[in-house]
Amino acid sequence: MKITAALAATAASFLATAALAQYPERPIQIIVPYSAGGGTDLSVRLLAESLTRHLPNARVVVRNQPGGGGSIGTSAAIHARPDGYTLGTGAQGPISLLPHMGGTDYQLDEVGFVALFGRNLQVLVGCANAPFQDFDSFMEYARDTPVQVGNSGAGGASHISAEAFAKVANVKIESVPYPGAADARTACIGGHIDAMVASPAEALAASEAGQMTPIFVMEDERIDLFPDTPTAVEKGVDFTWSSWKGIIAPQGLPEDVQATLQQALAAAVEDEEFLKAMDDLGEFVTFEDSEGYRARAEADSEIARQTIDDLGLTGMNN
Amino acid sequence: MDILSYLLPLFDLEVLWVIALGTLGGLIIGALPGLTATMGVALLIPLTFGMQPVMGLNMLIGIYIGGIYGGCISAILLRTPGTPSSAATVLDGYPMALKGEAGRALGMATIASTIGGLFAAVVLATLAPQLAGVALRFGAAEYFALALFGLTIIASLSGDILKGVISGLLGILIACFGADPITGGLRYTFGLSGFASGFAFTPALIGLFALSEVFTQLERLGRDEKVTLKVAGRWPTRADMRDSRGALIRGSIIGTIIGIIPGTGSGTASWIAYNEAKRSSKTPEKFGTGYPPGLAATESANNAVCAAALIPLLALGIPGDVVTAVLMGGLMIQGLAPGPMLYVTNPDVVVGIFGGTFIATIFMFIFGMALIPVFSRILMIPKHILAVTIVVFCFIGSYSINLNPVDLYTMVGFGVLGWGMQKFGFSQPALCIALILGPMMEANLRRGLLQTHNDLGAFLSGPITLVFLGLAALSLFLPLLAQAKARRNQPQLK
pLDDT tens-digit series, residues B18-41: 999 999 999 999 988 878 888 888
What is the dihedral sign for C-alpha A45, A50, A52, A55?
negative
Least confident of A274-283, B49-58, B218-227, B391-400: B218-227
Which of the 8 DSSP states describes residue A27?
P
For B333, which of A38, A182, A281 is closest by C-beta distance?
A281
Which of the 8 DSSP states describes residue A89?
E
Residues 6+ apart with CB under 8 A from B332: A201, A280, A281, A282, B338
User: What is the number of other CB atoms lying within 10 angstroms of the CB of residue B167?
Assistant: 24
Higher pLDDT among residues B490 and A291, named by residue: A291
Residue of chain A nearest B452, judged by CA positions: A148
Per-residue pLDDT averaged across B457-470, rounded? Answer: 92
Query: pLDDT tens, B319-365?
Result: 888 888 888 888 888 888 888 888 888 889 999 999 999 999 999 99
Which of the listed ranges A309-318, B127-136, B444-453 does the model predict with the highest average pLDDT?
B444-453
What pLDDT is recorded for position B480?
Answer: 75
Is there a contact between A37 and B139 if contact means CB atoms under 8 Å apart? Answer: no
Contact residues, chain B, for A183 at CB < 8 Å:
262-263
Q: Where does the pLDDT of residue B226 fall: very low under 50, low under 70, confident under 90, or very high at 90 and above?
A: low
Buried b (16+ CB within 10 A) or exposed e, B276-304: bbbbebeeeebbbebbbbbbbbbbbbbbb
Higher pLDDT among residues B476 and A183, named by residue: A183
**Contact indicator for B118, B112 with CB cutoff of 8 Å:** no
In a 13 Å sphere around the CA of B239, the CA atoms on its Cβ side amount to 1
What pLDDT is recorded for position B132?
Answer: 87
Is there a contact between A68 and B196 if contact means CB atoms under 8 Å apart? Answer: yes
With 0-12 / 13-18 / 19 or more C-beta atoms within 10 angstroms meaning exposed / middle / buried, residue B210 is buried
What pLDDT is recorded for position B490?
Answer: 63
What pLDDT is recorded for position B231?
Answer: 63
Q: Where does the pLDDT of residue B447 fall: very low under 50, low under 70, confident under 90, or very high at 90 and above?
A: very high
What pLDDT is recorded for position B40?
Answer: 87
Higher pLDDT among residues B49 and A53, named by residue: A53
**Contact indicator for A150, A184 with CB cutoff of 8 Å:** yes
Residue of chain A nearest B185, judged by CA positions: A317
pLDDT of B2 > 90? The answer is no
Nearest Cα of chain A lies from the Cα of B362 at a distance, in angstroms, of 26
Distances (CA, A) of A247 to A208, A267, A287, B165: 34, 14, 11, 48
Per-residue pLDDT averaged across A275-287, rounded? Answer: 91
Query: pLDDT tens, B63-86?
Result: 999 999 999 999 999 888 878 889
For A42, which of B317, B333, B451 is closest by C-beta distance?
B333
Is there a contact between B39 and A187 if contact means CB atoms under 8 Å apart? Answer: no
Written in H, E and C, the secondary structure of B44-82 is HHHHHCCCCHHHHHHHHHHHHHHHHHHHHHHHHHHCCCC
ipTM: 0.85
Higher pLDDT among residues B50 and A312, named by residue: A312
Percent of the residues in chain B that have a pLDDT greater than 90, as a whole number: 50
With 0-12 / 13-18 / 19 or more C-beta atoms within 10 angstroms meaning exposed / middle / buried, residue B184 is buried
Ramachandran sector of residue B75 (left: φ over 0; alpha: ψ -120 to 50; beta: rest): alpha
Nearest Cα of chain B lies from the Cα of A90 at a distance, in angstroms, of 18
Q: Does A104 touch chain B (CB under 8 A)?
A: yes
User: What is the number of other CB atoms lying within 10 angstroms of the CB of residue A53?
Assistant: 14
Per-residue pLDDT averaged across A197-207, rounded? Answer: 89
DSSP codes, A135-148: HHHHHHHHHHS-EE
- The DSSP element (H or E) to which A175 belongs, if any, is strand A173-177
CB pairs under 8 A between A and B: 162
For B450, which of A38, A76, A176 is closest by C-beta distance?
A176
**Contact indicator for A202, A212 with CB cutoff of 8 Å:** no
Query: pLDDT tens, A209-258?
Result: 899 999 999 999 999 999 999 999 999 999 999 999 999 999 999 999 99
Tell me the pTM: 0.88
Contact residues, chain A, for B449 at CB < 8 Å:
none
pLDDT of A7 > 70? The answer is no
What pLDDT is recorded for position B493?
Answer: 45
User: What is the number of other CB atoms lying within 10 angstroms of the CB of residue B95?
Assistant: 18
pLDDT of B318 > 80? The answer is yes
Per-residue pLDDT averaged across A134-152, rounded? Answer: 96
Angle at A72 (CA atoms; ends B437, B333), nearest 5 degrees: 75
> Considering all CA atoms of chain B, what is the largest pairwise distance in Å, rounded to the nearest integer?
73
Is there a contact between A190 and B137 if contact means CB atoms under 8 Å apart? Answer: yes
Higher pLDDT among residues B330 and B463, named by residue: B463
What pLDDT is recorded for position B339?
Answer: 81
Is there a contact between A174 and B180 if contact means CB atoms under 8 Å apart? Answer: no
Ramachandran sector of residue A257 (left: φ over 0; alpha: ψ -120 to 50; beta: rest): alpha
What pLDDT is recorded for position B5?
Answer: 82
Average pLDDT, chain B: 88
pLDDT of A21 > 80? The answer is no
What pLDDT is recorded for position B494?
Answer: 39
A 216-255 residues inside an 8 A Cβ radius of B: none
Give the CA radius of gyration of chain A: 22
Helices (H), B317-459: 322-333, 342-345, 347-376, 383-402, 405-423, 428-451
pLDDT of A144 > 70? The answer is yes
What pLDDT is recorded for position A125?
Answer: 97
d(CA B301, CA B310): 15
pLDDT of B227 > 70? The answer is no
What pLDDT is recorded for position B385?
Answer: 86
Per-residue pLDDT averaged across A184-206, rounded? Answer: 92
Contact residues, chain A, for B140 at CB < 8 Å:
192
Q: Decide the pairing of beta strands A242-250 and A173-177.
A: unpaired
Is there a contact between B179 and A189 if contact means CB atoms under 8 Å apart? Answer: no
Is there a contact between B46 and A36 if contact means CB atoms under 8 Å apart? Answer: no
Is there a contact between B326 and A36 if contact means CB atoms under 8 Å apart? Answer: yes
Which of the 8 DSSP states describes residue B211?
I
Higher pLDDT among residues B494 and B487, named by residue: B487
Mutation target among B57, B197, B446 for the A interface, most CBs of A within 10 A: B197
Contact residues, chain A, for B341 at CB < 8 Å:
205, 208-209
pLDDT of B305 > 80? The answer is yes
pLDDT of A282 > 90? The answer is no
Higher pLDDT among residues B405 and A28, named by residue: A28
Residue of chain A nearest B49, judged by CA positions: A277
| Among B330, B104, B336, B337, residue whose Cα is nearest residue B238 | B104
pLDDT of B419 > 50? The answer is yes
Contact residues, chain B, for A69 at CB < 8 Å:
179, 184, 196
Least confident of A226-230, A312-316, B45-49, B409-413: B45-49
Residue of chain B nearest A278, judged by CA positions: B333
Directed axis angle between helix A290-310 and helix A157-169, to 10°? 70
Peptide bond into A24 cis (omega under 30): yes
Is there a contact between A35 and B38 if contact means CB atoms under 8 Å apart? Answer: yes
Per-residue pLDDT averaged across B398-416, rounded? Answer: 90
Q: Where does the pLDDT of residue B384 fall: very low under 50, low under 70, confident under 90, or very high at 90 and above?
A: confident
A 249-288 residues inside an 8 A Cβ radius of B: 277, 280-282
Is there a contact between A206 and B450 if contact means CB atoms under 8 Å apart? Answer: no
Is there a contact between A154 and B41 if contact means CB atoms under 8 Å apart? Answer: no
Write the single-letter amino acid at A14: F
Is there a contact between B325 and A190 if contact means CB atoms under 8 Å apart? Answer: no
User: Could you tell me which residues are beta bridge partners of residue A250?
Assistant: A111
What pLDDT is recorded for position B229?
Answer: 55
Distances (CA, A) of B97 to A141, B75, B211, B226: 64, 10, 18, 14
Is there a contact between B136 and A189 if contact means CB atoms under 8 Å apart? Answer: yes
| Among B222, B217, B178, B185, residue whose Cα is nearest residue B201 | B178
**What are the two backbone dihedrals, phi and then psi, of residue B117, each rounded to the nearest 5 degrees?**
-65, -45
What strands lie across the sheet with A213-217, from one edge to the other?
A173-177, A147-151, A195-198, A123-126, A213-217
Helices (H), B177-265: 201-205, 212-220, 238-260
What pLDDT is recorded for position B11?
Answer: 87
Q: Where does the pLDDT of residue A1 fall: very low under 50, low under 70, confident under 90, or very high at 90 and above?
A: very low
For B181, which of A36, A177, A206 is closest by C-beta distance?
A177
| Among A152, A146, A150, A142, residue whose Cα is nearest residue A120 | A152
Per-residue pLDDT averaged across A85-102, rounded? Answer: 95
DSSP codes, B135-149: HHT--HHHHHHHHHH
Query: pLDDT tens, B260-270?
Result: 998 888 999 99
**Contact indicator for B157, B163 with CB cutoff of 8 Å:** no
d(CA B127, CA B237): 34
**Contact indicator for B441, B447 with CB cutoff of 8 Å:** no
Query: pLDDT tens, A52-85?
Result: 999 998 999 999 998 888 999 999 999 999 999 9
Q: Where does the pLDDT of residue B166 fall: very low under 50, low under 70, confident under 90, or very high at 90 and above?
A: very high
